[in-house]
Amino acid sequence: MPARQLLRPLRVTRLFAVLFAGLCTALTLPAFAATSQAPDPDDWGAVLKRAEGQTVYWNAWGGDSRTNRYIGWVARQMDERYGVDVEHVKLDDTGSAVARVLAEKQAGNNDDGSIDLLWINGENFAAMREQDLLFGPFAGALPHFALTRPAANPEVITDFTLPTEGYESPWGKAQITFYYDSDMLDGADSDTPPRSMAALLDWARAHPGRFTYPRIPDFTGSTFLKQALIELTEQGDALYQPVSESDFDAVTAPLWDYLDALHPHLWRRGESFPASGPRLRSLMGDGELSLAFSFYPTDAAVAVQEYQLPPSVRSYVLDGGTLGNVHFVAIPYNSPHKAGAMTLANFLLSPVAQAKKQSLDYWGDRTVLDVAHLSDAQRALFDAQSDNPALPSPEAFSNTLAEPHPSWMTALQDAWLEHYGVN
């Protein structure tokens, strides 16, 4: 029996476990005041008028202080500029929010949902579109959306191979970026960190215990699996189709062989893994690792600036390119505050908000705007350059590898847990 058939019960079991938790949460959450039908996204004046005085419950990952710091700044701006109150509902797992919306729909709550805006992409977007859980299309009507120039930058309207069709608004860009402590590597190694997955295995053997990746299903760890699979498999085209259309065993066999060889040389011999990307960064700061990676290209540079990593840290990408994607915000179909959510999504796309987000003083997340085509005044917001030596080179992101179909994420996570499930 193909591995994908064996994995299906696991995926269903996990879905129902999350769904049950979401249903319990939905039944115990306080009711939110209903509003009348959402205004037409194309009537932006009406949207702004309706938004004033609303409270937007923005469900977003809360596992990193930098992200939380930026969202706090956004909340203050939304109150001052639009009279909209933004409440950051901090998530450990976006899937729990998806399950909550689904539970509300199954309970017949079609007007008073508990979530107004959701930070989302990948398999969570695919699941919500499949279950018809999103409001839209709305993104194309946002006044600032045109600044992304979607015709020239199709990544802002494509999510893990799926067209967004206006049901998501782009918010930022991410790409796997490796970083290392040049003072802790031996000799010439400081100038030649591993620049491929094969070289990474050789490096780990030569530097036992000095590298690891986050425990699955953490999204940073899961992205590492996809990065490795893209480079190692000889059936790469299969990754851009639903996993059910491929021989999962054959496509992924090189990945498990690779990880079997890699794990004995990882931190704690691969018997346990850090919980997240921020925890991985902390291990670097504590001197337990000499090499790490992040899905945020400026992660190491911000950490150096904030004295969380030593100034000897440098960033780079693999020679064959690294996996990258755009992350989005979406509005659940039953949000009672759609006007406020659209106003917030539009502000997130404004040059001032995008420049603040890209600043190392706040988050360092890359903009989705086409900066070269902004006005002179708008472009000036992005002109500040940093001489931080941990910043990747400007050419580092010229080769971005596309995300596989979202179904591969869940399948890889389940298979990893089957192979290596550890504490």
Indicate if the pLDDT at residue 403 is higher than 50: yes
- Hey, where are the domains in the chain? 3-172+327-384, 177-316+402-420
Band of pLDDT at residue 2, cut at 50, 70 and 90: very low
Indicate if the pLDDT at residue 49 is higher than 50: yes
Q: What is the pLDDT of residues 117-163, one digit of tens each?
A: 999 999 999 999 999 999 999 999 999 999 999 999 999 999 999 99
What is the model's pTM? 0.83
Strands (E), 121-207: 158-159, 162-163, 169-175, 177-181
**The pLDDT of residue 36:** 42
Q: Which superfamily is assigned to 177-316+402-420 in CATH?
A: Periplasmic binding protein-like II (3.40.190.10)
Q: What is the pLDDT of residues 301-331, one digit of tens each?
A: 999 998 999 999 999 999 999 999 999 999 9
Choice between 396 and 217, residue whose per-residue pLDDT is larger: 217
**The pLDDT of residue 384:** 66
Instruction: Decide whether 3-172+327-384 matches 177-316+402-420 in CATH topology.
Output: yes
CATH code reported for the domain at 3-172+327-384: 3.40.190.10
Give the whole-angstrom CA distance, residue 85 versus residue 79. Answer: 5
Average pLDDT, the chain: 88
Say how far residue 278 (Cα) sits from the centre of its chain. Answer: 13
Q: At 316, which helix (H) or strand (E)?
A: strand 313-316
Give the whole-angstrom CA distance, residue 131 versus residue 129. Answer: 5
SS3 249: helix
Give the whole-angstrom CA distance, residue 119 versus residue 241. Answer: 24
Give the whole-angstrom CA distance, residue 349 versus residue 16. Answer: 35
Q: At 315, which helix (H) or strand (E)?
A: strand 313-316
Query: For residue 323, what is the DSSP state?
Result: E
**The pLDDT of residue 13:** 35
Cα dist from 271 to 148, 205, 262, whole Å: 44, 16, 12
